Amino acid sequence: MMTEQSILEQKLSQIFNAIKNDPANAVYTAQKIEPLYAAAATAKILLIGQAPGKKAQATKRCWNDQSGVRLRKWMGVTTAEFYDSTSIAILPADFYYPGKGKHGDLPPRRGFAAKWHPQLLKLMPNIQLSLLIGSYAQHEYLELPKTVALTEVVHNYQNYLPKYFPLVHPSPLNGGWLKRNPWFEEKVVPTLKKRVRQILNEKD
């Protein structure tokens, strides 16, 4: 007899195949590129970012770049902890590398997260905290007016707790933002580390 967890994992696997077979992703599937994300029925923390970078897609590992190194430092987790999908799930706003633009990678495709995220989230009932990394994730989940700046959202992160924790994207391109806003690493990051560690250390 299948357990509730095994049923959820089976459904997660079915969604993975559905994403690959979606006509909207045919150009990727034809190149044998699989959707890049991590989801498990037991996950407690969810990372919602933009879309996989070129290196991440090539290596089939989310956040496998300098942005990921900085993000793990902010969270206060080891590489092994970060990639343990039984505890930490990763759902980008698009599961495929969108290509290069004039100022960094192209944005995730519109409607992708709205189509697939709800289906996956239903199968991860233990999520306690969702990190909204960057403006795309924040506008997708917080339904913010377009006029609201990321700095304002991140500075007022406590307004979105305990469910969401908005963060600036850890990209090296945001080094200037971090210098202009020292309060982020002085006050926000320590709070993030503490909350992440509390959740990961909780016994089931």
- Check residue 38 and report its DSSP letter: B
Q: Tell me the mean pLDDT in the region 58-86.
A: 97
Counted residue by residue, the chain has a size of 204
C-alpha span between 52 and 55 (Å, rounded): 8
Q: Tell me the mean pLDDT in the region 35-50.
A: 97
Q: Is the CB of residue 97 less than 8 Å from the CB of residue 54?
A: yes
Q: What is the pLDDT of residues 162-198, one digit of tens each?
A: 999 999 999 999 999 999 999 999 999 999 999 999 9
CA torsion angle for 80, 164, 103, 179 (degrees, to 10)?
-80
Pairing relation of β-strands 164-167 and 45-48? unpaired
Q: Tell me the mean pLDDT in the region 18-45.
A: 97
Q: Tell me the mean pLDDT in the region 56-81.
A: 96
C-alpha span between 177 and 121 (Å, rounded): 31
Peptide bond preceding 162 in cis form (omega within 30 of 0):
yes
**Average pLDDT along the chain:** 95
CATH code (residue 115): 3.40.470.10
Residue 135 belongs to domain spanning:
4-201
Task: Compute CA distances 98 → 25, 95, 101, 174, 201, whole Å.
Answer: 11, 9, 9, 20, 35
Q: What is the pLDDT of residues 75-122, one digit of tens each?
A: 999 999 999 999 999 999 999 999 987 777 889 999 999 999 999 999
3-state helix, strand, coil in the chain (%, to 5): 50, 10, 40
Q: What is the pLDDT of residue 190?
A: 98
Domain count, the chain: 1
Q: Tell me the mean pLDDT in the region 143-167.
A: 95
